[in-house]
């Protein structure tokens, strides 16, 4: 079931990305960041209060760390997008699962308590190969700074993913993790907008009905994606969940085909196939070849509820 949660998250993230691309004609990057966080914060505040939930937490430092690394990763990614071809920046950002696998391998080797699960590592590497075929990245010699920012973004993003899992293991509900991240995103976006990333002669860009609908869609999709991703990392196997996030490239490709009529060569479709097959292989390995997979149904509260 954790695999499905990550697929839901990937689809929602892709939808959010399509909305951001459309809305970027009307709002600055900082405004989009601010509105993305603000809408999610307000929706969660209303829903949780209505259901009698609480935002009180005993893990304030852990939430602060997760939120700060997440927002930092977003800013570095935006920096890379502004200085690299979009395909290159996206590919670099999708290196996060590679860093997760590498970190777990080094930790297991260093402590000599865990061994590397090579089938999963190979699946992740295959997925990244598929991403390169889909996006055809090419960093030119004069774009090294943007490339460095993209790599750093993916490394920090990997830290954020691991922190999400840690908070889940500590017993923090998904809504609380997402709420504090959304709140931090709102505040950082607001400060950046007021600091000069807004329109000239005004604090914020004027709204239109179309722009408002886009912002609402971006915020809602981001909230759904964050909730699903948090659940996936809490109940799933880290490497499998990280591998399945590559399906976001597939969904983004489909959004491009539907909204902008993007045409694709044969190697793009081959890359999509590699991504899907590696994700299926990783999921099969986790559920059929490991002891945890044999009891995942008992451990996954979502499965138990169904």
Q: What is the DSSP string of 151-209?
A: HHHHHHHHHHHHHHHHHHHTT--HHHHHHHHHHHHHHHHHHHIIIIIS-TTSSSPPP-H
Residues in CB range of 61: below 8 A, 6 or more apart: none
Place of tokens 């590592």: 121
pLDDT of residue 157: 86
What's the mean pLDDT in 271-299? 61
Question: Would 297 be classed as within a structural domain?
Answer: no
Give the pLDDT confidence of 203-229 residue by residue, as tens digits. 899 999 999 999 999 889 988 988 888
**Structural tokens at position 157:** 């993003």
| Domain range enclosing 66 | 2-289
Question: Would 306 be classed as within a structural domain?
Answer: no
Nearest to 127 by CA among 289, 239, 221: 239
**Structural tokens at position 261:** 């009529």
User: DSSP assignment of 11-45, as one string?
Assistant: HHHHHHHHHHHHHTTTS-HHHHHHHHHHHHHHHHH
**Structural tokens at position 29:** 């990057």
pTM as predicted: 0.74
Question: Would 300 be classed as within a structural domain?
Answer: no
pLDDT category at 93 given cuts 50, 70, 90 is confident
pLDDT of residue 212: 94
Cβ 57 vs Cβ 172: under 8 Å: yes
Q: C-alpha 195: how far from its chain's center?
A: 26
Question: Would 305 be classed as within a structural domain?
Answer: no
Measured between alpha carbons, how far is 149 from 177 in angstroms, rounded to an integer?
Answer: 26
What's phi and psi for 156, nearest 5 deg? -70, -35
Place of tokens 């044969």: 266
Torsion, Cα of 15, 18, 20, 23 (10° steps): -120
Give the pLDDT confidence of 163-197 residue by residue, as tens digits. 887 888 888 888 898 899 889 999 999 998 998 87
Question: Would 304 be classed as within a structural domain?
Answer: no
pLDDT category at 137 given cuts 50, 70, 90 is low
Question: Would 298 be classed as within a structural domain?
Answer: no
Cβ 84 vs Cβ 153: under 8 Å: no
Question: Would 178 be classed as within a structural domain?
Answer: yes
Residue 161, number of CB atoms within 10 A of its CB: 26
Question: Would 294 be classed as within a structural domain?
Answer: no
pLDDT of residue 52: 87
Number of domains in the chain: 1
Measured between alpha carbons, how far is 53 from 100 in angstroms, rounded to an integer?
Answer: 32
> C-alpha angle 192/194/199, rounded to 5°?
100
29 versus 183: which is more confidently predicted? Answer: 183
């Amino acid at each position: 079931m954790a695999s499905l949660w990550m697929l839901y998250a990937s689809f929602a993230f892709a939808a959010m990305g399509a909305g951001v691309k459309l809305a970027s004609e009307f709002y600055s990057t900082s405004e989009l960041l601010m509105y993305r966080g603000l809408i999610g914060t307000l929706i969660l505040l209303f829903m949780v209060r209505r259901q009698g939930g609480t935002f009180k937490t005993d893990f304030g430092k852990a939430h602060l760390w997760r939120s700060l690394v997440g927002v930092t990763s977003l800013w570095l990614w935006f920096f890379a997008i502004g200085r690299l071809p979009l395909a290159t920046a996206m590919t670099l950002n999708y290196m996060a699962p590679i860093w997760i696998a590498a970190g777990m391998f080094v930790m297991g080797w260093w402590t000599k308590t865990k061994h590397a699960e090579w089938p999963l590592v190979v699946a992740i590497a295959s997925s990244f190969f598929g991403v390169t075929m889909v996006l055809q990245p090419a960093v030119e010699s004069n774009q090294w700074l943007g490339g460095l920012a993209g790599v750093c973004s993916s490394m920090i993003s990997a830290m954020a993913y691991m922190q999400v899992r840690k908070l889940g293991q500590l017993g923090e509900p998904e809504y609380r993790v997402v709420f504090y991240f959304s709140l931090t995103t709102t505040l950082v976006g607001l400060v950046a907008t007021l600091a000069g990333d807004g329109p000239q002669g005004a604090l914020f860009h004027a709204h239109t009905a179309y722009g408002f609908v886009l912002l609402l869609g971006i915020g809602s999709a981001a909230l759904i994606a964050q909730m699903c991703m948090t659940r996936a990392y809490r109940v799933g196997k880290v490497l499998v969940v990280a591998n399945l996030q590559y399906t976001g490239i597939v969904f983004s490709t489909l959004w491009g085909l539907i909204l902008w009529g993007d045409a694709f060569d044969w190697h793009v479709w081959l890359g999509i196939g590699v991504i899907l097959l590696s994700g299926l292989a990783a999921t099969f390995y986790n559920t059929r070849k490991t002891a945890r997979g044999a009891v995942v149904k008992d451990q996954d509260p979502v499965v138990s509820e169904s």
